[in-house]
Copies of this chain bind each other. A is one copy, B any other.
Amino acid sequence: MRDVSIIGIGQTKVDEHWDRSLRHLAGDAVLAALRDAGAETVDALYVGNMLSGLLTGQEHLGALIADFCGLRGIEAVKVEAACGSGAAALRQGYAAVAGGLHDLVVVCGVEKMTDTVNAETTTGLVMAADADYESIHGITFVGINALLMRRYMYEYGAKHADFANFAIVAHQNAVTNPNAIFSSPITADQFSKARMIADPINLLDSSGIADGAAAVVLCPSGIARDGGGRSVHIRASSVATDAVAVHDRRDPLWLSAVEVSANKAYQQAQVGPREIDLFELHDAFTIMSALSLEAAGFAERGKGVWLAEAGEIALAGKIPMATMGGLKARGHPVGATGVYQVVEVVQQLRGQAGPNQVPNARLGMAQNIGGSGATVITHILEASD
């Protein structure tokens, strides 16, 4: 298979875009990525999206967005894996280029969550869980994560305040990211006093629901026009799954799909967690950060939360995360998130992250999760020389 590189990136600000429809958001991101790549057209479009049907009454986003971007006629399709839809679409684009099906493709993650047609956003998000065995009992998606967090605190003796730094670091990094929805820093006191959503998860444990779109252009590394360190090599792409319902897993506190997906990626890239310079993980809730750090090999079991405590996740720390604000503060337009993560890793590896730059970033990992750990897509990216 061929090596694949990212040669263009684009993104909209994550926000409540009351004046922009789903296709406008996607168009902004796709056209920005094409401009960045110096490409006028592509062979195919892969769209990551979770909620457009339920929330905006629109499926069939592949053809719709291709046409709106002036790409009428090309191969185009939507890919869905709940909150992991963005990276799942990237995975399909990667497969097409690596396998020789296409030479130039664009991948777009897009979500519009502030306008709703057929149901509310909470009804939408719980579709990531098991409808027949979880949601039917009335639990929300936040509720499922709250059960995990409560169990984590019970098993490992962590207090709610111990999770504070995940949110504080994310907000701090978002202050200097013009594309982030939340531009205010928060304090530990604010974190502790934030209003409760689903005990023990409060507002500041939770990522922000919003609208947004991000896009990347892919081509074989052999023909990537390397305009001065701008192209970024995809060293690894991997997917693993687990039971959707948390009660069906052997150990609710061990995200085995994170472990398998990360290990596959380490193997493909021939690196280990120590060599990763930054990790854009799926911090939809602070508990997911702790669990992801453990299963991906950055902390021992039950110790993930202490990485935040120790300050190792800051830009100058041992394993910087949420470097542009993460899901928590850049925002989490669910089907777009996986592509935002990768766009941000590219910014870091190009040295274009401005005040958020991780020093000497050469190898970045992005991990996008569908549901509470049921689909996990990992990409490892490397700066060009």
Asked if A60 contacts B371 (CB within 8 A), the reply is yes
**A165 an interface residue at 8 Å Cβ cutoff?**
no
Of all chain B residues, the one with the shortest Cβ separation from A60 is B82
Which B residues lie within 8 Å of A275 (CB)? none
The distance in angstroms between the C-alpha atoms of A92 and B89, with both chains bound, is 11
> Chain B interface: which of A33-41, A123-131, A170-178, A302-310?
A123-131
Asked if A1 contacts B78 (CB within 8 A), the reply is no
Which B residues lie within 8 Å of A272 (CB)? none
Of all chain B residues, the one with the shortest Cβ separation from A132 is B21
Which B residues lie within 8 Å of A135 (CB)? 57
The distance in angstroms between the C-alpha atoms of A101 and B23, with both chains bound, is 31
Asked if A57 contacts B127 (CB within 8 A), the reply is yes
Which of B60, B101, B127 is close to A95, meaning CB atoms less than 8 Å apart? B101
Asked if A241 contacts B58 (CB within 8 A), the reply is no
- Count identical subunits in the complex: 2
Asked if A244 contacts B99 (CB within 8 A), the reply is no
**A345 an interface residue at 8 Å Cβ cutoff?**
no
The distance in angstroms between the C-alpha atoms of A244 and B88, with both chains bound, is 24
Identify which of residues 84-139 in chain A touch chain B, using a CB-to-CB cut-off of 8 Å.
Answer: 88, 91-92, 95-96, 98-101, 117-119, 123-124, 126-132, 135
Which B residues lie within 8 Å of A26 (CB)? none
Min CB distance A67 to B, Å, is 5
**A226 an interface residue at 8 Å Cβ cutoff?**
no
The distance in angstroms between the C-alpha atoms of A81 and B63, with both chains bound, is 8
Which B residues lie within 8 Å of A371 (CB)? 60, 63
Which B residues lie within 8 Å of A44 (CB)? 239
Q: If A98-B101, A99-B1, A118-B123 touch, does A91 touch B77 (CB 8 Å cutoff)?
A: yes
Which B residues lie within 8 Å of A368 (CB)? none
Min CB distance A42 to B, Å, is 12
Which B residues lie within 8 Å of A203 (CB)? none
Of all chain B residues, the one with the shortest Cβ separation from A57 is B131
Q: If A75-B239, A123-B118 touch, does A80 touch B80 (CB 8 Å cutoff)?
A: yes
Which of B53, B62, B132, B243 is close to A375, meaning CB atoms less than 8 Å apart? B62
Which of B53, B100, B101, B374 is close to A63, meaning CB atoms less than 8 Å apart? B374
**A73 an interface residue at 8 Å Cβ cutoff?**
yes
Which of B88, B98, B119 is close to A118, meaning CB atoms less than 8 Å apart? B119
Asked if A244 contacts B73 (CB within 8 A), the reply is no
Q: If A73-B257, A78-B80, A257-B73 touch, does A63 touch B241 (CB 8 Å cutoff)?
A: yes
Q: If A60-B375, A76-B375 touch, does A243 touch B1 (CB 8 Å cutoff)?
A: no
Which B residues lie within 8 Å of A131 (CB)? 56-58, 117
Which B residues lie within 8 Å of A374 (CB)? 60, 63-64, 67
Asked if B127 contacts A58 (CB within 8 A), the reply is yes
Asked if B73 contacts A241 (CB within 8 A), the reply is yes
Asked if A57 contacts B123 (CB within 8 A), the reply is yes
**A79 an interface residue at 8 Å Cβ cutoff?**
yes
Min CB distance A126 to B, Å, is 8
Asked if B82 contacts A59 (CB within 8 A), the reply is yes
Listed by A's residue number, 16 A-B pairs whose Cβ atoms lie within 8 Å are: A1-B101, A50-B59, A53-B124, A62-B88, A62-B375, A67-B248, A73-B257, A74-B241, A76-B239, A77-B79, A77-B91, A79-B80, A79-B92, A95-B96, A95-B99, A99-B99
Q: A76-B241, A118-B119 are in contact. List 12 more A-B contacts (CB 8 A).
A: A1-B99, A56-B131, A57-B127, A58-B130, A58-B132, A60-B127, A60-B375, A73-B242, A75-B241, A77-B91, A78-B79, A95-B96
The 3 closest A-B pairs by CB, nearest first: A99-B99, A58-B131, A59-B127
